[in-house]
C-alpha cells in the first residue's frame, strides 16, 4: 500500500490519521450527538472503541481508498475525518465522514467530501463511489446530494435499511469542475 497523500482545499487540510489523533477521535466517537445516527444500538464501549481505533490507525486501514483527518488549513486541530472506506462485505467503496460538533454547519463535510471524492475518482480510479446515511439524518443526506451522489433507494447495510447513494466515475467527470478539490 502506497503512502496516503495529503489533500487540501481552500480552507481545509486533509492528512493521514496517526496515533496522535486517537484521543480526539475517541472523544468525537463517544459524543452522543455525533453518534446519534451511527451507533444506533447505543453508545460505543469506550475501551472497545479505543482498541478498534488503535488497530485501524496502526494497520493503515483501509487497504483501498483512504482516511484523512480534517483540519482547518490555517489552524491545525482535529475537526473529524473523511474517507473512502469499504462498505461492509459489498466490495464497494463508501464515502464517509464524521465531524466534531464544533465543525457542524460550516460546510466542512461538503468541502472535505468534495476533495476526497475527487481524489477517489481521479487518482484512485474508483467506480462507483457509494455512501449510506440513516434515512432520518437529513444533514448528511444533504451533504451527499450537494456532492453529486444520487439517491438509489433504501439498502440494507450495517444491520439497517439505509439511504443508499452512488456516483459513477462518468457521472462525476461530466459534472465536476477540473479542480473540484479547490471549490469550497
- Residue 183 clears pLDDT 70, i.e. is over it: no
- Would you place residue 59 in the very low, low, confident or very high pLDDT band (cuts 50, 70, 90)? very high
Protein fold of 7-124: Aminopeptidase (3.40.630)
Q: What pLDDT does residue 181 have? A: 47
Distant-in-sequence, close-in-space partners of 81: CB < 8 Å, separation ≥ 6? 17, 25, 67, 68, 69, 70, 97, 98
Contact present, 81 and 91 (Cβ < 8 Å):
no
Question: Which tens digit of pLDDT belongs to each residue from 105-132?
Answer: 999 999 999 999 999 999 999 999 999 9
Q: What pLDDT does residue 2 have? A: 58
- Would you place residue 172 in the very low, low, confident or very high pLDDT band (cuts 50, 70, 90)? very high
Question: Which tens digit of pLDDT belongs to each residue from 141-164?
Answer: 999 999 999 999 999 999 899 999
Amino acid at each position: 500500500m502506497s503512502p496516503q497523500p495529503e489533500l487540501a482545499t481552500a480552507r481545509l487540510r486533509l492528512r493521514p490519521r496517526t496515533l496522535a489523533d486517537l484521543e480526539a477521535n475517541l472523544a468525537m466517537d463517544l459524543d452522543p450527538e455525533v453518534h446519534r445516527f451511527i451507533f444506533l444500538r447505543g453508545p460505543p464501549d469506550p475501551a472497545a472503541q479505543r482498541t478498534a481505533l488503535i488497530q485501524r490507525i496502526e494497520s493503515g486501514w483501509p487497504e483501498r481508498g483512504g482516511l484523512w483527518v480534517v483540519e482547518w488549513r490555517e489552524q491545525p486541530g482535529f475537526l473529524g475525518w473523511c474517507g473512502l472506506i469499504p462498505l461492509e462485505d459489498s466490495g464497494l467503496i463508501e464515502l464517509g465522514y464524521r465531524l466534531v460538533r464544533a465543525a457542524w454547519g460550516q460546510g466542512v463535510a461538503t468541502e472535505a467530501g468534495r476533495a476526497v471524492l475527487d481524489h477517489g475518482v481521479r487518482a484512485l480510479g474508483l467506480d462507483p463511489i457509494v455512501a449510506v446515511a440513516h434515512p432520518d439524518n437529513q444533514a448528511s443526506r444533504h451533504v451527499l446530494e450537494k456532492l453529486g451522489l444520487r439517491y438509489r433507494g433504501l439498502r440494507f447495510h450495517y444491520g439497517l435499511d439505509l439511504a443508499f447513494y452512488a456516483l459513477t466515475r462518468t457521472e462525476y467527470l461530466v459534472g465536476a469542475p477540473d479542480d473540484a478539490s479547490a471549490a469550497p
